[in-house]
């Protein structure tokens, strides 16, 4: 089970480094899939697996309470994302990308405005 947590740690570090080196490609990938059900399902499944792994491995770690709390928090977020509707998930993705701040804001301000308009139009058509 500790290998799963190690794998998640490595993936997080690699994605963090990729965002520092080529933010346009990572954010473009996220924006490109923001309207797909796959990204929503992936967000829920990854958080669920990570939360279960943290809770399961907590007893073997040096900080069992911290890992259990983090695991339950992760599972809670997965449940919230799971019951959140697709349009709200898209809004959350848009909000998160537009709040990235720093030097990314100028690059994505046009993109965020267009994505917001697209998602708002899709939301109007869904209702």
pTM of the predicted protein model: 0.68
Cβ(62)–Cβ(14) below 8 Å: no
Q: What is the DSSP letter of 62?
A: S
Tally of domains in the chain? 1
pLDDT, position 123: 45
pLDDT, position 25: 75
pLDDT, position 92: 85
pLDDT along the chain (127 residues), means of 10: 78 82 76 81 92 90 90 96 87 76 51 53 47
pLDDT, position 127: 46
Q: What is the DSSP letter of 1?
A: -
CA distance 117 to 105: 17
């Amino acid at each position: 089970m500790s290998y799963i947590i190690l794998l998640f740690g490595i993936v997080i570090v690699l994605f963090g480094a990729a965002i520092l080196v080529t933010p346009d490609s990572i954010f473009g990938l996220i924006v490109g899939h923001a309207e797909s059900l796959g990204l929503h399902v992936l967000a829920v499944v990854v958080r669920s697996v990570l939360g279960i792994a943290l809770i399961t491995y907590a007893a073997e770690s040096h900080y069992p309470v911290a890992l259990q709390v983090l695991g339950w928090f992760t599972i809670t977020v997965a449940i919230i994302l799971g019951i959140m509707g697709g349009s709200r998930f898209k809004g959350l993705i848009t909000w998160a990308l537009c709040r990235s701040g720093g030097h990314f804001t100028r690059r994505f301000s046009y993109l965020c405005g267009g994505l917001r308009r697209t998602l708002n139009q899709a939301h109007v058509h869904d209702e």
